[in-house]
Amino acid sequence: MTSLPAFPSGRRLGLVIDLDICVGCHACAVHCKEWNTGGHPAPLTDRDAYGPDPVGVWLNRIHTFEADEGEDVRTIHFPKSCLHCENADCVTVCPTGASYKREQDGIVLVNEDWCIGCKLCSWACPYGAREFDETEGVMKKCTLCIDRIYNENMQEVDRLPSCVVTCPAGARHFGDLGDPRSAVSQLVAARGGFDLMPELGYKPTNKYLPPRPRKTRARDIGAPRRLVPAGNAERLLAKWMDRIFTR
């Protein structure tokens, strides 16, 4: 892996996740687990994986639930990992400096040699994105696969986070969200991409694209099909968010 940055300094690298087409297959989580067991960080442990009390580390998790409001009933799959916030409290509360944010690309990382496993960072993260490795006694988290995106020994097409490479639906996108001209920034602008809980002021780099309003099954067979009004779609999304982060 080269030490030279593949992107100009001052960028904000991150993910854009399309909630409209995520199918909840967990391929992103599984490939992330597989890649990071041999990459950076390593390994992502599991203990008693098939027993009554399994314990393990997953840097990507997918929440799946159903939402019902009037004519719109659907299942939503919500992938969640570290959002690489601009104002990352997980960094400021760390007593040893093990959690840090890279200036050149905005990626938040953990220096495991300095981590004492106090869990302050996990308490400070409002998104529940930190993972404590009980076997190694340290915190672990999504690194945006820095050992892939900066690896000049890999073909350019593969220099993407493992979750992006493996998504069969194309629901995950990677790029520079600090550049309004980038493909991911234009996608966010076109689809109304949003921050999770913007009222907290963390300014997460990762964005989510909301489900599109869609035609739904008519309650009466003879009734005409109609589009869900945009306002209803927004209210549905707000309900989904509340369910995820208040559990």
Over 70: is that where the pLDDT of 191 sits?
yes
- Would you state the pLDDT for residue 71? 63
> Is the omega angle on the peptide bond into residue 8 within 30 degrees of 0, that is, cis?
no
In sequence order, what are the residues at sequence separation of 6 or more whose Cβ sits closer than 8 angstroms to the Cβ of residue 68?
A: none
Strands 61-69 and 72-80: antiparallel
DSSP letters, 200-219, are G----S-EEEPPPP-B---S
Cα gap 124→121, rounded to integer Å: 5
pLDDT at 9 over 60: no
The pLDDT of residue 239? 61
Maximum distance among all Cα pairs of the chain, rounded to whole angstroms: 66
Q: Residue 74 forms beta bridges with which residues? A: 67
**Is pLDDT above 50 for 182?**
yes
For residue 235, what pLDDT band results from cuts at 50, 70 and 90? low
pLDDT tens digits for 69-100? 566 677 889 999 999 999 999 999 999 999 99
Phi, psi of 132 (to 5 degrees): -95, 125
pLDDT grade, residue 45 (50/70/90)? Answer: confident
Q: Which two tokens stand for residue 94?
A: 């760390």
What does the angle CA 125 – CA 149 – CA 169 come to, to the nearest 5 degrees? Answer: 75
Mean pLDDT estimate for the chain: 83
Question: What whole-number distance in Å separates Cα of residue 129 and Cα of residue 123?
Answer: 10
- 10 Å CB burial of residue 163 (0-12, 13-18, 19+) is buried
Mean per-residue pLDDT, 183-195? 95
pTM: 0.81
Spatial neighbors of 123 by CB under 8 A, at least 6 apart, are: 93
Is 60 exceeded by the pLDDT of residue 228?
Answer: no
| Structural domains of the chain, ranges and CATH numbers in brackets | 13-245 (3.30.70.20)
The one-letter amino acid at 226: R
